[in-house]
């Protein structure tokens, strides 16, 4: 959909759900609800509904990043948290790090993570590599 050629169907959607920057919890709840309703029929979306869903997603994500951001932890704290959440011991991460001694060195802060270890951790725990920087 071109920004220049706004269809009547898209204009009608915008009239029902006029997008704007989300500033309050009430607005967040409204737009999250609208996005949820759209998502319930995502297999049958029109091009206009897809465009609106993309826009609402950006607005909701922007609000959540500003208001619900988690404090940044160190890479070691992130690994320890993930290990705890998954009930893992150091020995369970040998496949990621190669040896038990490397796991120990990383978790004790004696060794920094390399790119390959970050990639493997990201894949293992299904999280963004950014978590480990």
41 pLDDT band, cuts 50/70/90, is: confident
Rounded distance, CA 30 to CA 121, Å?
36
**Cα-based distances in Å from 7 to 10, 34, 39, 46, 79:** 5, 20, 21, 12, 48
- Residue range 48-87, pLDDT digits in tens: 999 999 999 999 999 998 887 766 789 999 999 999 999 9
Query: Which CATH class, in words, describes the domain spanning 75-132?
Result: mainly alpha
Model's pTM, two decimal places?
A: 0.55
Rounded distance, CA 121 to CA 119, Å?
6
1 pLDDT band, cuts 50/70/90, is: low
- Residue range 4-39, pLDDT digits in tens: 578 999 999 999 999 999 999 999 999 999 999 999
């Amino acid at each position: 959909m071109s920004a220049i050629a706004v269809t009547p169907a898209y204009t009608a959607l915008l009239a029902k759900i006029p997008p704007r920057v989300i500033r309050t919890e009430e607005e967040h709840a409204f737009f999250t609800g609208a996005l949820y309703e759209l998502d319930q029929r995502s297999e049958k979306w029109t091009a206009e509904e897809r465009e609106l869903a993309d826009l609402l997603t950006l607005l909701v994500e922007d609000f959540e990043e500003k208001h619900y951001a988690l404090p940044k932890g160190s890479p070691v704290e992130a690994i320890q948290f993930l290990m705890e959440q998954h009930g893992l011991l150091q020995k369970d991460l040998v496949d990621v790090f190669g040896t038990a001694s490397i796991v120990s060195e990383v978790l004790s802060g004696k060794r920094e993570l390399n790119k390959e270890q970050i990639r493997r951790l990201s894949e293992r725990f299904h999280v963004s590599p950014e978590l480990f920087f």
